[in-house]
Structure 1
Amino acid sequence: MKSRNCKRGRTRIKPPDRKERIIMSGALNILLIEDNPDDRALVIRELSREFPDRHFTQVSDANQLTPALQRGPWDLVVTDYELHWSDGISVLLAVKGRWPDCPVIMFTGSGNEEIAVQAMKAGLDDYVLKSSKHRARLSAAAVLALDRARQRRALREAETLYQHLFNRVPVGLFCVALDGRIIEANPAMIGMLGYPDRRTLLEVDANSLFASPTERRRWLAAVQRSGVVERFELRLRRCDGKPIWVEINARAVKDEQGRTRHREGSAEDITARKRAEEKLRDSREQLRALVAYQQSVREEERSRLARGVQHEVDQALTALKTDLSWVERRLTGGAGPSSLSSALERLEKLPEAVDSIMGTIRKIASELRPPVLDESGLEAAIEWQTREFEGRTGIKCQFDSKVRNARLEPERATAVFRLFQETLTNVVQQAKATQASIHLRVEGDKLVLEVEGNRRTDTGRKISRARSLDLLGMRERATLLDGEVNISSRHGKGTLVDVRIPLHSPGELKTN
């Protein structure tokens, strides 16, 4: 507050602008408690000079005090100390009991320093004597009292707002002393750490909340090094012992000498995010491994086919060429009737050799893509593959189809057929099953293929890397078609592979 010199030679504190005054109903409501009418007139005259826009309520006896207090709130109370029916301390306590925030000034002709100290401890804002030397200070005391009351209200509102934010913000807030004592924590922090209430958490040493001593040292080193840490990730341990990942933003609060007093900041639970990141990393690793594995499988399949072509077809063609050369020599060498008869016998056997070569070629082609899939559809192809697998492995298979006029896009039919082949090889045969049942049906807008073997297979951590990639490849093949593959091993019932593929792609027009 700025001061100015008045004409009377006294120093008076300039009051705040009228807009800053706390007024009720457009006027400053002042309660004046005084049993001397002359002194009441003196107070009214002094305060009216400073506050033209004011309203006085006068109390001169005990019967008027209680109703007056109940009619509040009041912007200012001015009371005498020596009242014929009470004293200023009692009045002060009564006012503060009803209106704790109301400023009170004691304007008295008697009293001493002891009374003034007692009154100040009880909440009195100022103590002014009625003597001609001091009475002029009444207006300045009123201005100061009103300003302090306004500041107290503003501070209380700010504290209320801060407390509201502190309690409602969805991020954990904390304040920790250098010795590890938790000074303060908001409900979000308490809930994040799984403690039942604030008192229980404040009894915990903050150093024990770190998941490991290494992480605690790393955190302390970061704070001590720069005084501020942002987006610092570490693990804390909840009340139930479970670790959680948190992201911390904090700073060291220092005193005037630059010494750290305590540390305060925010903490956010990022456990779900860390799990998602770990899952993404694992998926990328699996994808890289799957790509490499599939490339290896393709190369191995090409090598197998090349060996098959070279071993079977090449040998058969070589034998056919040898026979043709032999026949040519017999027919062109001027041989006798016996040689001609032998050549004719050899020629009669050549169609059988050609049929054998054609059969070998058809077998190789069928392994690449069975013609029945294109000629007769998925249902017939699965039945053919079931019989071929049964004949090749000796595993007894039973096929049951309830598909009626279900039409799939060629690439979807091919994918389901490949999934069926992979299921027979990677699940049924690997589990060393002796029996297998295959069911094909339509449920809603999905084609369902179930293959169940009578032996259990590993689906957890015991599974080999190659088998894991085989199963991953099956799931990826289904995912590309918005489908799914679920594999479960049931005690006493073997292994069940459940394949579900939508009959139509998302953009395909469905027609009856």
Structure 2
Amino acid sequence: MLLGALALFCLRRWGIGLAAAAKRDAVVLRQRAHRRDLLCNLATTRMSRRNLMGLQPIEARYQAMVELSPDAIWIIEAGRIGLVNRSCLDLLGSDEAAGVIGQDPLAYFLEEDRPAVAALMQQALARGRAAGLERCIRRPDGCRREVEVSAAALPDHAQTLEVVLRDVTQRNETARLLEQSGEELRRLSRNLLDVREEERRHISRELHDELGQRLSAIRMEVASLVMAPVEDDDLGRRVAEAVRMIDETVASVRRIAADLRPAMLDDLGLEAAVEWLAQDWSSRTGLQIDVLYAVGETQVSDAAKTAAYRIVQEALTNVSRHARARRVSIALRLEHGRLAVSVEDDGRGMSASALPKPRSYGLIGMRERALQLGGSVSLQSSPGLGTRVQATLPAAASAAGAQRLRVRP
């Protein structure tokens, strides 16, 4: 009994102590674990703060790049515009982003272009990136702009796209103008060859029909005079006829030479050459031609004189062929160091849509002559109100321009 009581006493005393010790140990362990969790959370928080502080400058730089980009940028979320930059507002002709955000991006494109743009966006979502598409957008004011469209899917953002619209309107317009100018130059080059060949045929006909026939007639008349008896009463009349044919032949030679290059332009100056040209055309066509000349001969270079004469000559040719006019006014003035040339008729005129004819080689030739000297040529016309050709040329042509002009007398 005594041993049993002693054993029970020890068991109770030691058991209680062991339980208390185990309980104290569990509390210590929990406290240590809590401190460890606190330290880990603190370290994680500090790391997150450092990461956020490091990301903030990067995000600010990215936002600045987007805002300052010359290209228009859309951020499209779930098929709607969620963010735009300043260039996008300028492209779309909008003052406030609120008028653009929330809109369907496809609505800004022409209806026929929307399927292609939608396909490009789907391709970007599927593959991550898509580019190389040129289409037209229509602004609220009706103005159209040509844009190059590219798109990229944003990582970790489902159904979110960054779309870049590059305005290529000016670039394409410049390319079209260059292509048009090149085509006009090619046509002009082909036409110049045709004109040169036609001039050769014309000169050949003139020499054969006029000079050749008249010289043959003169030869036959002079030969008959040599064979005629001295007492022939008709001798004086025949000599007078021979002299008349000689005079006509000399006049034909002078006219042909003047058509090629008027000598008086070099000898007497631009005023005399234009006056002679007006009188010659008036006698041949019946036109009433008035000339107003207010230019000092010494103030105008030879290259400018030649270009002005040829422009007036070509303008008169166009009047006689197309205008059905009765009266023509030619004016040459010196204005602020530039030679102003104007040829105006009272003919039938033409509509504005008919003015920029690419095959109007006469107008192209006049413009080419003016451009060689740094000048310009314009044409104004209205149906029933006649036509006016105006040219402006530097009075003192540059040496390079004068050298280019010498090859085209």
TM category (shorter chain) comes to 0.7 to 0.9
2:245 is aligned, of 353, 363, 366, to 353
**Displacement, 1:327?**
4.2
In structure 2, the partner of 1:78 is none
Once the two structures are aligned, what percentage of the paired residues are identical? Answer: 30
Q: Is the 8 A contact 2:350 2:387 kept in 1?
A: no
In structure 2, the partner of 1:194 is 93
What is the CA deviation profile of residues 152-203 of structure 1, one whole-angstrom value per residue up to 9, with x for unaligned ones?
22233333332232223221112335x6333433232233122343333233
Query: Structure 2 stretches of 5 or more lacking a match?
Result: 1-28, 401-409
- In the TM superposition, 1:148-163 aligns within 5 A as 148-163=48-63
Q: 1:152 to 1:405 in 2, by over 3 A?
A: same
Q: 1:223 to 1:373 in 2, by over 3 A?
A: farther
Q: Is the 8 A contact 1:254 1:261 kept in 2?
A: no
In structure 2, the partner of 1:13 is none
2:56 aligned with 1:164? no
Query: Structure 1 stretches of 5 or more lacking a match?
Result: 1-128
1:144 is aligned, of 18, 32, 44, to 44
Give the secondary structure class of the aligned counterpart of 1:152: helix
**Displacement, 1:396?**
1.5
Q: 1:411 to 1:505 in 2, by over 3 A?
A: closer
2:278 is aligned, of 373, 386, 402, to 386
Q: TM-score, normalised by structure 2?
A: 0.78
**Displacement, 1:316?**
0.8
CA distance in 2, matches of 1:337, 1:183: 114
Q: Is the 8 A contact 1:437 1:451 kept in 2?
A: yes
Q: TM-score, normalised by structure 1?
A: 0.64
In structure 2, the partner of 1:475 is 367
Q: 1:253 to 1:149 in 2, by over 3 A?
A: closer
**Displacement, 1:389?**
1.7
2:148 is aligned, of 221, 225, 247, to 247
Report the AA paired with residue 448 of structure 1: A
What is the CA deviation profile of residues 116-166 of structure 1, one whole-angstrom value per residue up to 9, with x for unaligned ones?
xxxxxxxxxxxxx99566346555544333222222222333333322322
**Displacement, 1:270?**
1.0
Q: 1:267 to 1:154 in 2, by over 3 A?
A: same
2:144 aligned with 1:217? no
CA distance in 1, matches of 2:342, 2:256: 28
Give the secondary structure class of the aligned counterpart of 2:100: helix
- In the TM superposition, 1:334-353 aligns within 5 A as 346=238, 349-353=241-245
Q: Is the 8 A contact 2:278 2:289 kept in 1?
A: yes
2:180 aligned with 1:282? yes
2:318 aligned with 1:426? yes
In structure 2, the partner of 1:402 is 294
What is the CA deviation profile of residues 97-123 of structure 1, one whole-angstrom value per residue up to 9, with x for unaligned ones?
xxxxxxxxxxxxxxxxxxxxxxxxxxx
CA distance in 2, matches of 1:180, 1:206: 8
**Displacement, 1:221?**
5.6
CA distance in 1, matches of 2:308, 2:351: 21
**Displacement, 1:435?**
1.9
Report the AA paired with residue 383 of structure 1: E
Larger Rg computed on CA atoms: 1
1:233 is aligned, of 130, 134, 140, to 134
Report the AA paired with residue 247 of structure 1: E
Q: Is the 8 A contact 2:269 2:297 kept in 1?
A: no
Which structure dedicates a bigger proportion of its chain to helix? 2
Q: Is the 8 A contact 1:210 1:216 kept in 2?
A: no
CA distance in 1, matches of 2:286, 2:102: 70
Give the secondary structure class of the aligned counterpart of 2:165: strand
**Displacement, 1:345?**
6.4
In structure 2, the partner of 1:296 is 194
In structure 2, the partner of 1:377 is 269
2:153 aligned with 1:261? no
Q: Is the 8 A contact 1:223 1:252 kept in 2?
A: no
Aligned-residue CA RMSD in angstroms? 3.3
Report the AA paired with residue 154 of structure 1: G
CA distance in 1, matches of 2:121, 2:192: 46
1:321 is aligned, of 219, 227, 236, to 219
Q: 1:466 to 1:144 in 2, by over 3 A?
A: closer
Report the AA paired with residue 151 of structure 1: N
Number of residues of Structure 1 aligned to a counterpart in Structure 2 = 370
What is the CA deviation profile of residues 450-475 of structure 1, one whole-angstrom value per residue up to 9, with x for unaligned ones?
22223352263225958733212211
CA distance in 1, matches of 2:285, 2:327: 11
2:208 aligned with 1:310? yes
Q: Structure 1 stretch 270-279 or stretch 146-155: which is displaced more?
A: 146-155
Report the AA paired with residue 258 of structure 2: S
Q: 1:372 to 1:223 in 2, by over 3 A?
A: farther
Compare relative contact order (CA 8 Å, sep 6+) and give the higher one, 1 or 2.
Answer: 2
